[in-house]
Amino acid sequence: MRAVIFDLDGTLYKSAKLSSDIWRNLVKVVAEELGISEEKASEFIIKGKKRHLTVTRTVEAMGISRIRLYERLAKSVNPSEYLNLDPRLQSLVDELHDKGYKVAVATDSGRSLAVKILDAIGILNKLDSVATSSEAAPKPEPNIYLYALSKLNIWPNQAVYVGDRLEEARGAKQAGLSTLLLSKLPVDSPWVDFTIRDLNQLPKILEHHTPFIMTISSDGFLDSSGFKGITRLETRLEDVYQEFQDRDYVEKLLRKGQNPIIRVRERINLKGEGLLKLSVQAISSGKIGKEYFLTPLHVHDKSELMVGISGKGLVLLQCGELADLKRLERGKLVYIPPRWAHRCINIGNERFVYIAIYDSEIRKSYGMKPIYTAIEGEDGKPKLIHVEDE
SS3 of 54, please? coil
CA distance 292 to 223: 28
pLDDT of residue 386: 84
Q: What is the pTM of this model?
A: 0.60
pLDDT on residue 390 = 46
Residue 389 pLDDT exceeds 60: no
User: Helix and strand tally (H, E) in the chain?
Assistant: 10, 23
Beta strands in 156-250 (DSSP E): 159-163, 178-182, 194-196, 215-216, 222-223, 230-236
Check the CA dihedral 191-195-200-201 and report its sign: negative
Neighbours of 67 (CB within 10 A): 15
Phi/psi for 232 (5° steps) reads -105, 125
- CA torsion 320-323-327-333 (nearest 10°) is -40
Residue range 293-313: mean pLDDT, rounded: 94
Average pLDDT over residues 39-62: 87
Look at the chain and count its residues.
390
Helix-helix angle 66-76:16-34, to 10 degrees: 130
The pLDDT of residue 281 is 92
pLDDT in tens, 121-176: 999 999 999 999 899 888 888 999 999 999 999 888 889 999 999 989 999 998 88
CA distances from 83 to 19, 121, 155 (A): 11, 6, 33
Residue 203 has pLDDT above 60, yes or no: yes
Mean residue pLDDT of the chain comes to 88
Q: How far apart are the C-alpha atoms of 302 and 362, rounded to whole Å?
A: 6
* Contact present, 295 and 341 (Cβ < 8 Å): no
Closest C-alpha to 111, from 8, 23, 39 = 8
Burial of 34 (0-12, 13-18, 19+ CB in 10 A): middle
Q: Please determine, for residue 224, whether its predicted confidence score (pLDDT) is greater than 60.
A: no
Pairwise CA distance, residues 382 & 385, whole Å: 10
C-beta separation of 164 from 7 below 8 A: yes
Domains of the chain, CATH where assigned: 3-206 (3.40.50.1000), 216-389 (2.60.120.10)
CA separation (Å) from 140 to 72, 104, 168, 174?
23, 17, 5, 9
CA distance 109 to 86: 20
Q: Which residues are bridge partners to 266 per DSSP?
A: 232, 280
Q: How confident is the model over 93-108, as a mean pLDDT? A: 94
- Tens digits of residue pLDDT in 362-372: 888 998 888 88
Q: Can you spell out the DSSP letters for 322-365? A: EEEEEEEEBT-EEEE-TT-EEEEEE-SSS-EEEEEEEETT--EE
pLDDT for 186: 82
The whole-number pLDDT of residue 237 equals: 94
pLDDT at 34 over 60: yes
| φ, ψ (nearest 5 deg) of residue 228 | -95, 0
| Closest by Cα among 37, 224, 3 to 129 | 3
Q: Among 65-74, 84-93, 348-357, which is the least confidently predicted range?
A: 65-74
Query: Alpha-carbon distance 377 to 375, whole Å?
Result: 6
* Residue 56 dihedral angles phi and psi, to the nearest 5°: -60, -45
The answer to whether residue 212 scores a pLDDT higher than 80 is no
What is the per-residue pLDDT across 75-91, written as a single tens digit (0 to 9) for each?
A: 899 999 999 999 999 99
* Interval 103-110 mean pLDDT: 93
What is the DSSP code (8-state) at residue 231? Answer: E
Q: What pLDDT shows up at residue 101?
A: 92
Rounded Cα distance between 198 and 151, Å, is 27
**Rounded to an integer, what distance in angstroms lies between the CA atom of residue 24 and that of residue 29?**
9
Q: What is the pLDDT of residue 187?
A: 83
Whether residue 225 contacts residue 191, with contact meaning beta carbons closer than 8 Å, is answered with yes
Residue 16: its H or E element: helix 16-34
